[in-house]
Amino acid sequence: MPRNPAQPLLLTPGPVSVSRTTREAMMVDRPAGDVEFQEDLAFARRYLVSLIGGGESYTAIPLPGSATYANEGVIASLVPPGGKVLLHSNGVYGDRLVEICAHLQVAHSVVRTPPFTPPSAALFEQAIRADPGITHVMLVHCETSTGVLNPLEEVADLCRTHSKGLLVDAVASYGAIPLDAKRLGFQAITLSSNKCMQGVPGVGWAVVQKQALENAKGQCRSLALDLWDHNQHMERTGGFRFTPPTHVVAAFAQACREHAAEGGVEARLARYSRNWKRLIDGMRQMGFVAVVPDNFASPIVATFREPNHPDFSFQALFQGMKRRGFVIFPGRLALANTFRIGCMGDVTEEDIGEALQALSDTMAEMGVTQFGRDEAVLA
């Protein structure tokens, strides 16, 4: 049955499509002090901590806004005056961390590596050894601008060995890739209400080690992003310090219930992996080249090279897909003509099958059926 283009399926790296029941959870207007609202909030906070096995050592803090707010809140709150962060970038979201530190005037140094492969842990070790002033390391776990999964466990080991505070941007992996707080020992980890948790966008979350948060008391460079302050207010009153995003929290609690009902992180990873495999296989059959080698790719999003054909245009592909009820995304990296297709959200393998058919039909409409099967993978 053809899809309704007015209600497209988002095959994008965010916002992602959410279930009808998650959307419906927003149909009630609630005041800030509402009991159900506070129960939903408490449940969601506990659920997020449980996903990383954080026990009593971690607290989950929601910040109204997008995931960048959570990353900025973590850096502004946890890196002390005189501290210095070692950052890594192999894409847009690593670069965003650099931008945050520059705006906050937090001292930082950057290890930059090519976009389509993960960095070696040795680069981090060299950088840590070279600069004793480094107090923290911040890593983007899944770099959504390509889909590359960066080496979190190795970097966590280095942080432990060299006594550095680890901060993790898990915005595109939390909820779908196992993250063990005890094993990784991070001070803070961030996520979005949307992405792999499949809530609606509107809240960035920081899950923070309580001890690190206590050490951060009074040192935040921002009022609205002060994690210590938000946490103490929430613990004391059960609600937000400022106007609460009530609808987003209601949807998020429903999304958490659905995450648990699906089978938690393991089941979500299995579904996204099936989506990704179907997508990659189907795209390769058509002649597309995935730019990230399979062994470095996450099942969150895949990046493809645009066909080298005079009649191909990403705009025509985008519009043709949209008319057929699917939304795909342009590439984010300036150095290559790429586009991305997401595998996360309320999306099944069958949906991906339909999207592949829509893509094949759109390509035929464009007159682009024969193209560069042998194009090399970009380095």
Ligand X SMILES: Cc1ncc(COP(=O)(O)O)c(C=O)c1O
Of 108 and 324, which has the nearer Cβ to ligand X? 108
For the packed helices 246-262 and 264-286, what is the interaxial angle rounded to 10 degrees?
80
Least gap, CB of 17 to ligand X (angstroms): 15
Of 239 and 245, which has the nearer Cβ to ligand X? 245
Least gap, CB of 177 to ligand X (angstroms): 12
Residue type at position 111:
V
Of 86 and 168, which has the nearer Cβ to ligand X? 168
Of 202 and 244, which has the nearer Cβ to ligand X? 202
Least gap, CB of 103 to ligand X (angstroms): 14
Least gap, CB of 105 to ligand X (angstroms): 20
Of 41 and 139, which has the nearer Cβ to ligand X? 139
Write the Ramachandran bin of 341: left for phi over 0, alpha for psi from -120 to 50, otherwise beta: beta
Of 328 and 363, which has the nearer Cβ to ligand X? 328
Of 272 and 324, which has the nearer Cβ to ligand X? 272
Least gap, CB of 60 to ligand X (angstroms): 17
Largest CA distance in the chain: 63
Least gap, CB of 142 to ligand X (angstroms): 6
CA distance readout (Å), 234 to 39, 57, 183, 208, 225: 12, 16, 27, 14, 14
Of 189 and 212, which has the nearer Cβ to ligand X? 189
Least gap, CB of 271 to ligand X (angstroms): 19
Of 92 and 366, which has the nearer Cβ to ligand X? 92
Residues that bind ligand X (CB under 6 A): 13-14, 66-68, 93, 96, 140, 142, 144, 169, 171-172, 192
CA distance readout (Å), 182 to 53, 124, 173, 186, 209: 7, 21, 17, 8, 11
Least gap, CB of 251 to ligand X (angstroms): 16
Least gap, CB of 78 to ligand X (angstroms): 17
- Checking DSSP bridges between strand 58-64 and strand 203-209, what pairing results, if any? antiparallel
- Nearest 5°: the CA angle 352, 356, 362 is 140
Inter-residue contact 286 to 370 (CB < 8 Å)? no
